[in-house]
Amino acid sequence: MNTLNLSDEHIKNLIQGPGDVEWRYEMRRECQEILPGLLLGPFQASKSLDTLQGYGVTHIVCIRDQKEAFSVKPRFPDLFRYLVLDVEDNEEQNVIRLFPEADQFIQQALDQGGKVLVHCNGGISLSPAFVVMFVMRHCHLSWEDALHLVQNRRYCISPNGGFLTQIKEYESIYRAKAAVANFPSGAMQRVVSRRKRDDDEEIDDRQVG
């Protein structure tokens, strides 16, 4: 079961995307709702108090390159809860290592009934990489389906090559963690005990031989 409690049919429809939306160039300066309560956009959207309040935003993830810190920063710290992540927008940047903090912040906000805007400067490469990984993990999707889901709502996204490689790698990471989490603790104990018993018997056989 996905952790956002969305039905399989709902997720399927989300992946296919809205068929009645005509993407216009100026829409890249706006934010779009990717999942219920989760918005993705550029810094420009985070500067408009009317936009934020109109969407009912309560939490904002501000992802920026350190050299952008003088301009890309929280604008309304008294009105919204912020998480600020300094991330280099280049292909060598490790985003998998930084993702858990954003993941926890977004999930807690949604659990509390809040709405989250995730943005970077342009909303093209940096912040979409984090949102794709969030969608992948919480909707239990392949990296391709997660990317399509996000891209079908914000058509202009284009994570750089390094981020795209890590998005692909993250699929096996989150699936492995999910498998371990779903493995009954009693069954795990039995596996460990059986392996220890087999090792002990192998040692005894060698000693006898």
Residue 18, domain member (yes or no) = no
* Helix (H) or strand (E) segment spanning residue 62: strand 59-64
Please state, in angstroms and rounded to a whole number, the distance separating the CA atoms of residues 132 and 137. Answer: 9
The pTM of this model reads: 0.84
pLDDT of 77 > 90? The answer is: yes
C-beta separation of 103 from 132 below 8 A: no
Residue 120, domain member (yes or no) = yes
pLDDT of 194 > 80? The answer is: no
Q: How many helices (H) and strands (E) does the chain have?
A: 8, 5
Residue 206, domain member (yes or no) = no
Residue 5, domain member (yes or no) = no
Q: Residue 201: what pLDDT?
A: 61
Give residue 168's domain range.
23-183
Residue 106, domain member (yes or no) = yes
Q: Where do the DSSP E strands lie in 87-154?
A: 116-119
pLDDT of 191 > 80? The answer is: no
Please, is 196 exposed, middle or buried when counting C-beta atoms within 10 Å of its C-beta (0-12, 13-18, 19+)? exposed
Residue 74, domain member (yes or no) = yes
- Kindly list the catalytic residues: 120
Largest CA-CA distance found in the chain, in angstroms, rounded: 81
Number of domains in the chain: 1
Beta-carbon count within 10 A of 124 CB: 17
Across the beta sheet with 38-41, the strand order is: 32-35, 38-41, 116-119, 59-64, 81-86
**Domain with 160 in it: what CATH number?**
3.90.190.10
Residue 169, domain member (yes or no) = yes
| CA-based torsion, 40, 42, 48, 49: positive or negative | positive
Please, is 43 exposed, middle or buried when counting C-beta atoms within 10 Å of its C-beta (0-12, 13-18, 19+)? buried
pLDDT digits (tens, 9 = 90+) for 29-61: 999 999 999 999 999 999 999 999 999 999 999
Residue 205, domain member (yes or no) = no
Q: Residue 1: what pLDDT?
A: 40
pLDDT digits (tens, 9 = 90+) for 175-187: 999 898 887 765 5
